[in-house]
Structure 1
Amino acid sequence: MSESPDPAPRPDDGAAPVDPVYRDAVVDLLGVISYGEITAFERLADDSKLAPTMQDKVALATMAATELGKVGRLHQRISELGGDPFAAMAPFRVAIDSFHQHTAPSDWLEGLVKAFVGDGLANDFYREIAAFLDPGTRDLVLASLDDDGGHAAFVVERVREGIATDPRHGGRLALWGRRLMGEALTQAQRVAADRDSLTALLTGGVDRPGLDLAALGRMFTRLTERHAERMSELGLDS
């Protein structure tokens, strides 16, 4: 079982923070999540064209619509903090677009694994960061990451069905899952290197204690463990 996130000090309410460093970090975080939701919508809508049945096509299109529907609330919070939603998303376009260009699925099953494993890795990382947010913003972030439509169960069922129909899919999809994790970590490192404010949320400052090296190590261990759990759910080796 995965460890729980390390406890982190947080502001006591959801009001707009007065600390400009914290504010910039929150705007950046909401910006990268927003752009991730928009690209998820585009990707899922495009992947629906690969669906083998009309039922599968509708299911994936519904998943896409759900992702897009979350963006409005994130943009509203950015505006409340005095930021511009589109300016907040702009710094992350290159890194996120590059990830999707390097991980374009070649078929229906690869698209499903990417939606489950790739998005899951990103969401786990954002949940870790959410532990350092004020309650109002934290709740908004967590709500934007929730699978409130049962989409994960649909993906797991379809991937397992595909492997049962042709066991040869198992090996290549396992390799695909490992590649997704490697690309996702590269993307995360690139974003962190470009945006010091996000790193500051985790490492803290003079007035906001953060994670030390040991705690950061435990965080990445949790991310790796959750990836392995997802791969196992799909019937794949991690």
Structure 2
Amino acid sequence: MSYVFAPAPVVALPVVGSADQFAVHRIYCVGRNYEAHAREMGHDPEREPPFFFCKPADAALPVAQGSTGEFPYPPGSSSVHFEMELVVAIGKEGREIPVERALDHIYGYALGLDMTRRDLQAEAKKLGRPWDTAKGFDHSAPLGAVHPVAQVGHIGKGAIWLKVNGVEKQRSDVSQLIWPVAETLAYLSTLFELQPGDLVFTGTPEGVGPVVQGDLMTGGVDGLTEFSVRVI
């Protein structure tokens, strides 16, 4: 078979303890899934059904263990914010997955930053428009290496944090998720058929804020190797 032009290369994340790569299929993100963050964004954190938005697979910016990723400050915005998140890497397909079986569909966990053009998002909210330009721009999803469940187990609690230039900006505990991982996946699977290679950003704690060129973001979740990303 020939193509009009060469197909885009596969986007993939490194896997801890393996030479294999985790090929990215889709990127789903859960909105406002920590109570304090929902409040800081001006919303009532009552436990209503979760909502989701997507980033294109090629928005992923893989960061290898022990290295510092480089996030290009995007054009068209003067207020780009960090949002530190625990990311679930799906390894088994499923639709309408029961909550009690949802964790069986997880291949591993990773660290991720949901970088956001906050000024464009605010404008979209005001006008009732989609968030695509605010959330799905190039390199908007810096991601660390995938830690297989076989190595780290399932993550239902533990600190999640982010520092900018050595100053802590975000800190919470994964146990504070309004919708825990299993419930999030079960609900998401009623809207989409989950596939191996899917990534699910599970939400960010309070303390989100802006970065500028030169800033160094360093984040972590207990049980996973921290990662660093510099704004260029």
Q: TM-score, normalised by structure 1?
A: 0.25
Which structure shows the bigger proportion of residues in helix conformation?
1
Larger Rg: 1
Which structure shows the bigger proportion of residues in strand conformation?
2
Q: TM-score, normalised by structure 2?
A: 0.26
